[in-house]
Amino acid sequence: MTSSLSLPTLILASSSPYRAALLKQLGLSFKTHSPDLDETPLPQEPPQQLVARLAEAKARKVGAKLPNALIIGADQVAVLNQSLLGKPGTHERALQQLRAASGQRVIFYTGLCLFNTITGQTRTAIEFFQVEFRQLTETQIEHYLQREKPYQCAGSFRSEGLGIALFKRLQGDDPSALIGLPLIRLTTFLEQEGYPIL
């Protein structure tokens, strides 16, 4: 195991406050750097490949300037009836997304990459999470959006907040993956790199 005196710097390659809040739960010291990356899907790119590619690309872009670091990259997409649901950005688009999701199952794919800039090694994973929405009325959707304004969240909700009231059922191995950073898998990756958690 690496001694505490020589641990590499831990970097979260993300500007997401939600991912940073999740990582803080592990009680680790880390810094954040925005990767500023084009996240446009490639033609015919499946969602699993998209999130894996972008998670690694974010980690590598930030890691290119940091010689002694462990870089955490993550990316997430939501899929409803074969269509990608990105971050809505606006109230109107969020309304459209939640109307479409009402009574439906939405699948979330979260890509994770841990890049060791010392060894050049990457550890990657794709986490799957399924959300079944309740039948939602226009009033419920409007009230929810006015209260939480989840316009920078894929699928137009925050499951760690009031968004939990939108759901009928959740299915997946790691609830933190739904928020955008799968901590169970990340903990394993960090320990494999000699970075102690407990």
The catalytic residues are: 75
Residues whose CB is less than 8 angstroms from the CB of residue 193 and which lie 6 or more positions away in sequence, other chains included: 2, 70, 114, 116, 123
Q: Is 130 exposed, middle or buried (0-12, 13-18, 19+ CB in 10 A)?
A: middle
Report strand pairing: 69-80 vs 9-12: parallel
| Nearest CA among 28, 27, 26, 22 for reference residue 8 | 28
CA distance 114 to 190: 8
Beta carbons of 141 and 95 less than 8 angstroms apart? yes
Other beta carbons less than 10 A from residue 146's beta carbon: 9
In the chain, the N- to C-terminal Cα span, in Å, equals: 13
